[in-house]
Structure 1
Amino acid sequence: MKVLVTGANGFIGKNLLMHLREKGGFEVVPFSRQHTEQDLPGLLDGVDWVIHLAGINRPENPSEFVTGNTGLTQTLCDAVKQCGRQIPIIYSSSIQAERENDYGTSKRAAEGALLALNEATDNPVYIYRLPNVFGKWARPNYNSAVATFCHNVARDLPVSINDPDAVINLVYVDDVVNHFLSLLEGKNSNPGPFVEVEPVYQISVGGLADQLNRFKATRENLITEQVGTGLTRALYATYVSYLPPERFTYTVPQHGDDRGVFVEMLKTRDAGQFSFFTAHPGVTRGGHYHHSKTEKFLVIKGDACFRFRHMLTGEFYELFTAGDKPEIVETVPGWTHDITNVGDDELVCMLWANEIFDRDNPDTFACPVGTEA
């Protein structure tokens, strides 16, 4: 499938082209600032779809809104009409088209050109009145508060906020791109002409800044946000994408003694924490029980013996595991337990606990396991 993408070097365009390359089966014809409007008829040759992303939103002169938004779109419509065949057009408009300002007026007029083409020739058009789009590769200090805030927070620069209670509507660039792709692949039956991307997220400007600063604080307190779904997932991916390469790494505290070292890696507010420890040959770690806390151990290097004893019945159990056999060992409340390095090399073991360690209420009580049933 041959696709003409205008604004191919812009924020959405860069993300779109990456996805099209990953999908395969698409031949992309890019249109960018190095081209002129006169190039459009030739670029349309053999094209199956047009994704029209090009436009002006930060001109030096307001008249550029008309030429860069309305004029370019009209030229595109004329070129499609003159080619004598239908070429579906996806257009990235803006929610500003609903407002009376220079930018919004120019986008609304561009929509009008597309609607006129559709009415005259039945050429399919899909108009997206997008709210603020955010994600990787957006330009900071341009027209995206998310990009600017991410860039500044990631570099310890101040963030300027005029009204922290002002609410902004956001769509994630991956959701926008996936919606475009669903049209290209025939998976979206929306007849148009106006189409919406979902989900649309809402957050206050102050809330956005607070969330990004919590992401930053994770490197100090090790407590991660709930970055697996929804807006927090998308914002975290965006924030991390603005980290300069020299900040790709960070150190975490290491606690060591004669037995080995213990390092906490990541903590969650509702699903526990992750860490690892080492043990020298012959060293035993643990020797305690819990009332409610549970743990999962995974030996990733060395040989280990786990021992358990029931606190009421005295029942004894031991098992052996090693780094070459991925096997989770789970501790059970009411059983005292320990782990001994029974190999000749250092033991390295990953550990998950279902809760963040609380020094004031550790739910950890010393009690030797012993070595016999």
Structure 2
Amino acid sequence: MKVVVTGSGGFLGWHTRLRLRALTDHEVLPVDRDSWAGLTEAVSDADAVMHIAGVNRADDETVRQGNEDLARGLAEAVAATSHPTRVVYANSIHDGNGTAYGLGKGRAREILAEAAEATGGSLVDVRLPNLFGEHGRPAYNSFVANFVHAVRDGSAPTVNDSEVGLLHAQGAAAALIDGLTGDARRIDPPSTPATVQGVLDLLREFKASYDTGEIPDLSTAFRVDLFNTYRAALFPEHYPIALKPHTDPRGTFVETIRVRGGEGQASFSTTVPGVTRGEHFHLRKVERFAVIAGEARISLRKMFTDEVVDFAVSGAQPCAIDMPVGWVHNITNTGSDTLVTQFWSHELHRPEDPDTYPEPVRPQGASA
């Protein structure tokens, strides 16, 4: 299936592209602000469009009109096609609540439904709650992003406590992908109930543990998602994490991982000189690399970007690197001796669901 994704350069757009790359064989045509002029050509032979582009931070008239205008632009592109087109619309639970944002999202839904149905296609209305996740922008995407950066930087954010339903961006992406097939014309993905103050308290708990190199309690899916969101904001400046050697006449002891709760699995590998391991990314896994002996280069690249982050590590100076979700990574033996590396993940390895998706850190032709 050929799928156009509008708003591909934004927060939810990135997460949706990541999930599409990991779990489907769909051909994805990303469209963002810089490529919006080519929208009609992109849609002309597409089987479906995921409309994620939107306006949610501006004055009321700009928010309302901006969402309508984006929908009209996509409607014109859909109308120019000669085949039925399914439009999966990243709508909001605020549709119908009378706010400028809700009015704009509701009117956009009507515009897109009319255009899709005119081609013999259909609209799938995905009503999304408050979203959070890795690489959210503070003062733009959600209060969670505000809190993540405030806790990271040691500042005290203003809290207007209330109950809220939260959905990780990967859950939203899953709902949008579900909309590509099936007969459902409206999807209401479930959210996790939380309080604003409770989110801040959890992030502070994570910081207190993680500042020491310790992994906090990850006993629920919500905790895993929120911790992954927090540690993404620390990368790469927070790494590597120094590990303290304890040396006596017998030798040296180094603790590489301490975990507060949940399951986990540790393993180690040996790697001969010049060989690279890894070349994959994860959607949810918390994973730590710690070199025990030898010399290595750990390399990471955020998906759909070109910049590679390299860390030179050595067993002579113990340290750990934690892999952010959605960053393809590898480890290369750069020394002349066998490399010994310990790996840890927060969950047990399950062959039926390994959460490991092949991708090169440096695509063919890229410079090392």
User: Normalised by the shorter chain, which TM-score bucket?
Assistant: 0.5 to 0.7
Matching residue within 110, 114, 121 for 1:123: 121
Aligned match for 2:110, one of 112, 116, 125: 112
Q: Aligned with 2:158: secondary structure?
A: coil
**Closer, same or farther: CA 159–86 of 1 in aligned 2, 3 Å:** farther
- 1:279 matched to which residue of 2? none
1:238 alignment counterpart: 229
Structure-2 change in CA distance of 1:93 and 1:146 (3 Å) = same
Residue number in structure 1 paired with 2:200: 209
Relative contact order (C-alpha < 8 Å, sep 6+): which is higher? Answer: 2
CA contact (8 A) 2:11 2:141 kept: no
Q: Distance in 1 between matches of 2:21 and 2:264?
A: 39
Letter in 1 for 2:19: H
1:133 to 119, 127, 131: 131
Contact 1:218 1:224 in 2 (8 A): yes
Corresponding pairs, count: 269
Q: Does 1:29 align with 2:26?
A: no
CA distance in 2, matches of 1:257, 1:272: 30
1:17 aligns with 2:14: no
Mark the CA change 1:246 to 1:31 in structure 2 (over 3 Å): closer, same or farther: closer
Contact 2:117 2:123 in 1 (8 A): no
Q: 1:155 is matched by which residue type in structure 2?
A: D
Amino acid at match of 1:25: D
CA contact (8 A) 1:161 1:206 kept: no
1:175 matched to 2:145: no
One-letter amino acid of the counterpart of residue 184, structure 2: G
Once the two structures are superposed, what CA deviation does each residue of 1:295-319 show, in whole Å capped at 9, x if it has no partner? Answer: xxxxx99xxxxxxxxxxxxxxxxxx
Instruction: Give the conservation status (yes or no) of the 8 Å contact 2:82–2:119.
Output: no
Contact 1:125 1:192 in 2 (8 A): no
Matches within 5 A, 1:286-301: none
Check conservation: 1:224, 1:267, Cα contact below 8 A.
yes
Q: Corresponding residue for 2:187?
A: 195
**Counterpart residue identity of residue 216, structure 1:** K
Letter of the 1:150 partner, please give it: V
Mapped to 1, the partners of 2:264 and 2:122 lie a distance apart of 51
Counterpart for residue 42 of structure 1: 41
SS in 2 for 1:206: helix
Q: Distance between the aligned counterparts of 2:61 and 2:213, measured in 1?
A: 50
RMSD across aligned positions (CA): 3.0
* Long gaps (5+) in structure 1: 275-299, 302-347, 351-373
Asked whether the equivalents of residues 133 and 169 of structure 2 are also in contact (C-alpha less than 8 Å), the reply is yes
AA at the equivalent of 1:137? H
| Alpha-carbon distance between aligned partners in 2 of 1:40 and 1:220, rounded to the nearest angstrom | 45
Structure 1 equivalent of residue 90 of structure 2: 92
Q: CA deviation at 1:62?
A: 2.9
Q: TM-score if structure 1 supplies the norm length?
A: 0.64
1:317-336 → structure 2 map (5 Å cutoff): none
1:41 match: secondary structure: helix
Q: TM-score, normalised on structure 2?
A: 0.65
In the alignment, structure 1 residue 160 sits paired with structure 2 residue 145: no
Alpha-carbon spacing, 1:273–1:215, altered in 2? closer, same or farther (3 Å): farther
Q: Identical aligned pairs, as a percentage?
A: 31
Q: Distance in 2 between matches of 1:272 and 1:15?
A: 25
Residues 126 and 247 of structure 1: is their aligned pair in 2 closer, same or farther, counting only changes over 3 Å? same
C-alpha separation in 1, matches of 2:234 and 2:25: 33
CA distance in 1, matches of 2:156, 2:173: 29
Q: Deviations over 1:50-101 (max 9, x none)?
A: 0001111112x43322332112213322432342321111111111213111
Q: Which amino acid aligns with 2:238?
A: R
Match of 1:79 in 2: 77
Cα distance in 1 between the residues matched to 2:131 and 2:262: 30
Alpha-carbon distance change, 79 to 103 in structure 1, aligned in 2, over 3 angstroms: same
> For 2:247 and 2:60, how far apart are their aligned partners in 1?
64
Give the one of 136, 148, 151 matched to 1:150: 148
User: Offset of 1:177 from its aligned partner?
Assistant: 1.7
State the Cα distance separating 1:224 from its structure 2 match: 3.7
How far is 1:22 from its partner? 3.6
Instruction: Give the drift of 1:33.
Output: 1.2
Q: Structure 2 regions of 5+ residues with no counterpart? A: 267-291, 294-339, 343-368
Cα distance between partner residues in 2 of 1:272 and 1:85: 49
Q: Larger C-alpha radius of gyration, 1 or 2?
A: 1
Distance 2:119 2:235 in 1: 49
